[in-house]
Amino acid sequence: MPTIEHASHRLDLNEYLAAQRELPGWFSDLDALLFACFDEVQRNGSVRGDLLEIGVYRGKSAALLGYFVREGERLVVCDLFDSAAPGAANVVENERFYPDLSRKSFEDTFLRFHRRLPEVFQCDSTELQGSAGLQRGFRFMHVDGSHLYDIVRQDIATAQALLVEGGLVVFDDFCRPHTPGVAAAVWEAVAARTIRPICITDSKMYASAVT
């Protein structure tokens, strides 16, 4: 069983799972285990870089990613939180699925597990290569933001632009019946060979991005 590390404290993955099961959100034990295993693969392969999560909700998976940050790396998260969604379709999606989303609820969750908050971009994920100014240098990217086709396509382009060699991108909700936009964008990218699937769970696809 992998051990997750952060600063001066270490947790067995089972201890983390026991603590996070009470948290609101959607993050299976299997995916938590795979996150830890892929981090260990990158560590053993000397793959270094920052970590990025698009769409954090209440911080359930971001809290786990916080344990993977090594010296010289950073965790970056991006979410609209309390900000207005940029389009009518996004507004409907947020009101339907995330009515309780707030930056404070995320920060409260994250600080239960870590001493300091990650770097937070409170914006639409399509801005990450623009006003946010992020550059190539990420090794792990979890995409769990908008389910709209056009935005997911942009998130895939962001992964291509930011991931280093040996980097991993994980797409959530790529096979859910209520998120056809994610499936359309992800499988389109697979067909175009811009991303290469590595493994699939009930809710997530793990892939490398062709950079």
Q: 146, 89 in Cβ contact below 8 A?
A: no
Query: 80, 53, 57: which is closest to 66 by C-alpha?
Result: 53
Q: What pLDDT was estimated at residue 127?
A: 87
Q: How many CB atoms lie within 10 A of CB 82?
A: 11
Q: What pLDDT was estimated at residue 197?
A: 97
Q: What pLDDT was estimated at residue 99?
A: 58
Q: Look at residue 161 and give its three-state secondary structure.
A: helix
Residue 160 φ/ψ, nearest 5 degrees: -60, -35
Q: 192, 201 in Cβ contact below 8 A?
A: no
- Domain boundary assignment for the chain: 3-209
- Low-confidence residues of the chain, pLDDT below 70? 1-13, 83-100, 130-132
CA distances from 135 to 74, 83, 138, 178 (A): 13, 24, 8, 32
Cα–Cα dist 116/103, whole Å: 15
Cα–Cα dist 173/184, whole Å: 11
Residue 192's identity, in one-letter code, is A
Residue 54's identity, in one-letter code, is I
Q: What pLDDT was estimated at residue 8?
A: 46
Model confidence pLDDT, tens digit, residues 31-77: 999 999 999 999 999 999 999 999 998 889 999 999 999 999 999 99
Query: Which positions ≥6 away from 6 have C-beta within 8 Å?
Result: 66, 67, 69, 114
Q: What is the pTM of this model?
A: 0.87
**Packing angle of the helix pair 103-113, 13-20 (nearest 10 deg):** 140
Model confidence pLDDT, tens digit, residues 120-130: 999 889 888 76
Residue 53's identity, in one-letter code, is E
Structural fold of domain 3-209: Rossmann fold (3.40.50)
Structure tokens at 59: 């911080």
Given its phi and psi angles, is residue 170 left (phi above 0), alpha (psi -120 to 50 degrees) or beta? Answer: beta
